[in-house]
Amino acid sequence: MIVPEAPAPATGAQFTLGFAQLKVLLGPIMGEPTEAEHGNDDNCDTEQLTTTGLAYWRCATNLLSFAAFPDGAMHWAASPTGSGLIEWSGAEDPPPDALTVINAAQPTEEDDPPLGTACLAAAPLPSVACAAGDGLAAQAAIQNPGDTVTVDLMVPDSGLHLSADLLDLPADYDLYLADGTGAIVGESLQEDTTPEHIDADLPGGTYYLYIHSDPGRVVDPQDPFRLQVSLS
């Protein structure tokens, strides 16, 4: 990862939600924000430049991370268990040994029902309120173009059928289904506020639903969308 040199702190720029939590863990290592959090034009990641490096959230790993100046070789990420930080150095993001720690922290199918209790969101989005089980009905509002809401799914080895609907859209948002590596295995890309729908038969493993607003698109931060998911 190449981290550009940062300008001085920006007036009014803040760390919010996920990045604010990462700042609590890292303290002065993370510096102060020099820009508002924003989406990456090439994918559904989000990032925010600071006085000491780059804070970023990866769709593929669901990790809130930070890469330090001058070369971005030193990384930290918030542990998925909420127990502290994972640290590594080098160009890989994250390297295999860090992924071993991350994957070991994930719940097993014996621990949790198919729909995970953690409904994750890249800051500055509000978390989606959800309950463990085989169904989900929740609302969330996208605050900025390029933002993504993520819902994690744990599918047992026997497999499940997924039906996901994105409804009551206030703007043109898209719905993606990704496997545990972050690879997109299903998508619904209707124009304008047409509802989005994905049906898929899923073998066992970890999956993610992404509700995404493309950078440059209009969003409505005051009006939430509705997500319905069933696993059978």
Q: Please, which pLDDT band fits residue 14 given cuts at 50, 70 and 90? A: confident
- In this predicted structure, the answer to whether residue 96 has a pLDDT above a threshold of 70 is no
Lowest mean pLDDT among 22-31, 45-54, 121-130: 121-130
Question: Is domain 115-231 annotated with CATH 1.10.10.10?
Answer: no
Average pLDDT of the residues in 52-81: 81
Confidence at residue 98, expressed as pLDDT on a 0 to 100 scale: 55
Return the sign of the alpha-carbon dihedral for residues 103, 16, 146, 177: positive
Who has greater pLDDT, 4 or 195? 195
pTM above 0.85, yes or no: no
The pLDDT > 70 percentage for the chain reads 74
Among residues 9, 20, 12, the alpha carbon closest in space to that of 49 is found at 9
Nearest Cα to 191, choosing from 168, 211, 171?
Answer: 171
pLDDT of residue 132: 38
The domain locations on the chain are 17-104, 115-231
197 band by pLDDT with thresholds 50, 70 and 90: very high
Q: Are 62 and 150 in contact (CB under 8 A)?
A: yes
Separation CA 141–CA 130 (nearest Å): 15
What pLDDT sits at residue 108? Answer: 43
Residue 36: its pLDDT value, please? 87
Specify the pLDDT at position 196: 93
Confidence of residue 124 (pLDDT cuts 50, 70, 90): very low
Q: At 199, is the pLDDT very low, low, confident or very high (cuts 50, 70, 90)?
A: very high
